[in-house]
């Protein structure tokens, strides 16, 4: 899908390999397998080379380093995010659903969302998501400065929520989440009520709701704030 766009200038140029099976695509495919089993921390040039039955040095002709490899992985994942055909009458619904879908896709791939917390991985597929997001917001009449900044702010919220959600899912799979949650509730409940009256009073509500409900609550706050800035619907052109 990304081949219809120019290559980002910071990426390692595509090269022919002496091994016909070795290419950027083959490296990314092998790295996706490592990511699924071990998460970002398990992804390394040496580990991926082992999956491909070759030496790490042979990978550097196609991918400069782990940072570039993770960027490629993130963009591979971003290709799975469904993008709506923008409708000015439904921009709030569509942008909310886009962010919900983005989180869901990121959570399918362990902790890949961590890549977006350090910097925005600017691959072609990720850029398509950003373009659709900003187009929807402009259709809703959001001022351009707010459109540009919110793409970053909301992206951080979605990515952070995906990291937290994937961590929780992993803890639940290993049976660690319930114990940790119970310990935290017991600890807060034991705090002196005269010094922490609000925390103690709201303890039942602090852990209420599902992850999905809490995530959508945050989106409602963000979309509501953006809507308050809207100056009226407009076309999607520059």
Average pLDDT over residues 133-156: 94
Other beta carbons within 10 angstroms of residue 153's beta carbon come to 13
Compute the distance between CA of residue 36 and CA of residue 111 in angstroms, rounded to an integer. Answer: 9
Compute the distance between CA of residue 22 and CA of residue 35 in angstroms, rounded to an integer. Answer: 19
Residue 180 has pLDDT above 80, yes or no: no
DSSP codes joined into one string, 146-204: HHHHHHHHHHHHHHHHHHHHHHHHHHHHTT-HHHHHHHHHHHHHTS-TTTSHHHHHTHH
Q: Retrieve residue 91's tokens.
A: 């921009």
What is the structure's pLDDT at 125?
Answer: 93
> Which residue would you say has higher pLDDT here, 160 or 171?
160
pLDDT tens digits, one per residue of 5-37 = 777 776 777 665 555 578 999 999 999 999 999
Compute the distance between CA of residue 73 and CA of residue 40 in angstroms, rounded to an integer. Answer: 10
What is the structure's pLDDT at 19?
Answer: 56
pLDDT tens digits, one per residue of 183-212 = 888 888 898 999 999 998 998 888 888 889
pLDDT tens digits, one per residue of 120-133 = 767 899 999 999 99
What is the structure's pLDDT at 86?
Answer: 95
Structural domains of the chain, with CATH? 2-78 (1.10.10.60), 88-229 (1.10.357.10)
Q: Which residue has the tokens 């591979």?
A: 76
């Amino acid at each position: 899908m990304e081949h219809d766009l120019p290559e980002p200038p910071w990426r390692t140029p595509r090269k022919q390999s002496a091994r016909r099976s070795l290419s950027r695509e083959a490296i990314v495919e092998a790295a996706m397998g490592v990511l699924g089993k071990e998460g970002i921390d398990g992804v390394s040039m040496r580990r991926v080379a082992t999956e491909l039955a070759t030496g790490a040095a042979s990978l550097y002709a196609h991918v400069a380093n782990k940072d570039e490899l993770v960027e490629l992985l993130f963009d591979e994942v971003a290709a799975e995010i469904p993008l709506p055909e923008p409708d000015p009458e439904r921009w709030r619904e569509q942008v909310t659903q886009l962010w919900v879908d983005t989180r869901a896709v990121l959570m399918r791939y362990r902790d890949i969302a961590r890549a977006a917390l350090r910097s925005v991985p600017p691959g072609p597929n990720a850029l398509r998501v950003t373009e659709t997001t900003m187009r929807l917001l402009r259709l809703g009449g959001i001022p351009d400065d707010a459109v540009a900044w919110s793409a970053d702010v909301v992206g951080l919220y979605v990515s952070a929520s995906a990291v937290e959600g994937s961590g929780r899912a992993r803890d639940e799979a290993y049976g660690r989440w319930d114990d940790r949650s119970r310990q935290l509730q017991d600890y807060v409940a034991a705090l002196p009520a005269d010094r922490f009256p609000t925390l103690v009073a709201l303890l039942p509500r602090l852990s209420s709701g599902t992850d999905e409900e809490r995530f959508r609550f945050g989106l409602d706050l963000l979309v509501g704030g953006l809507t308050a800035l809207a100056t009226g619907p407009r076309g999607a052109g520059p």
